Chain A
Amino acid sequence: MRQRPFVLTSGRVNAVDREIEFETQVTLRPYDPRVGRVPLASLGPEMQAMVALCQDPISVAEISARLRLHLGVTKILVADLRAAGYLDVHVTDTLNAHSPELILRVMRGLRAIS
């Protein structure tokens, strides 16, 4: 999935934030020793809890729901953790309409539900 370029404006809001949707997927970023990052323990308890939730791919809405944080706050913390090197935010390219193939895949999957 294509990631949009990271543009730092005020330090908290950037190009990626504005494209984070309810269903946007978040994953853990593996530690890169060449880059390094601040220790997780130095980040707030909310951020630590967030990282713990993202062991498996998870949507921003689910993070918000499970941590009982407003979606707006969640987006900011996700963006901060992304900047800190702990999370990857997988922004989908919504400029292109959904393809027939994708819709058919969803239909096939639903049809299998009994």
Chain B
Amino acid sequence: MPALGRAGVRTPPVPVKIIVAGGFGVGKTTTVRAISEIAPLTTEAEMTEVAAGVDEQRADSLKTTTTVAMDFGCVTIDQSLKLYLFGTPGQDRFGFMWDDLTHGALGALVVVDSARLADCYQPVDYFERAGLPFAVAVNTFDGRLAYDLAEVRWALAVNDRVPIVTFDARFRTSVRDALMVVLEQALDQVLHAQTP
């Protein structure tokens, strides 16, 4: 049992987080694993998902709650600052309301498989609407890239300001570089918000 009542109570670090989003099997957990100082953990939570109604004439959509699993890891920045990386739920058949997960995040990395670009439309759309800084990172499997980045950008139709980079989710330094791009976007957004 823990020694309760001891004098030296640790002050917790300030937690910050970056969301790792993308389609099923695109390499979100690999990304987290590559850089996390702990082996990725999984938390299960209730998420509300918005499904299109069966009758397409109806304007309302059907909201259901389902349990989803999210993989996550962390990187200690310093004694008073800790970065968490949360992967979005693996399988999003419809529109998950990710607000609980993404609330207060520094930004997001949208991982893309160039052979399955459509899988990232939903996360890109979500982050653009949420106004969360993000970058798109094309996971190159063994250096293979189905299209060049210009074609990827055209296909995704993202704002020109959104960075699209390549990376290899298996390698720590590559993931680091991709996350740096997200942070640059975050910094950019904050600095622009400050200018009158």
Bound CA–CA A113/B183 (angstroms): 15
> Which A residues are CB-close (under 8 A) to B100?
21-22
B190 CB to nearest A CB, Å? 5
**Contact A25 B190, beta carbon cutoff 8 Å:** no
0/1 per residue, A61-86, Cβ < 8 Å to B? 11011100011100000000000001
A74 CB to nearest B CB, Å? 8
A52 CB to nearest B CB, Å? 6
B169 CB to nearest A CB, Å? 15
**Contact B81 A106, beta carbon cutoff 8 Å:** yes
Of all chain B residues, the one with the shortest Cβ separation from A52 is B2
Report the interface size for chain B: residues with CB under 8 A from the other chain.
52
Report the interface size for chain A: residues with CB under 8 A from the other chain.
49
A107 an interface residue at 8 Å Cβ cutoff?
yes
Known contacts A40-B4, A66-B41, A70-B44: A105-B183 contact under CB 8 Å: no
**Contact A31 B193, beta carbon cutoff 8 Å:** no
Bound CA–CA A62/B190 (angstroms): 29
> Which label, helix, strand, loop or mixed, suits the secondary structure of the A interface?
mixed
Bound CA–CA A97/B42 (angstroms): 28
Bound CA–CA A114/B15 (angstroms): 22
Known contacts A25-B13, A105-B81: A99-B190 contact under CB 8 Å: yes
**Contact A109 B186, beta carbon cutoff 8 Å:** no
Bound CA–CA A65/B67 (angstroms): 14
A11 an interface residue at 8 Å Cβ cutoff?
no
**Contact B44 A71, beta carbon cutoff 8 Å:** yes
Bound CA–CA A25/B41 (angstroms): 16
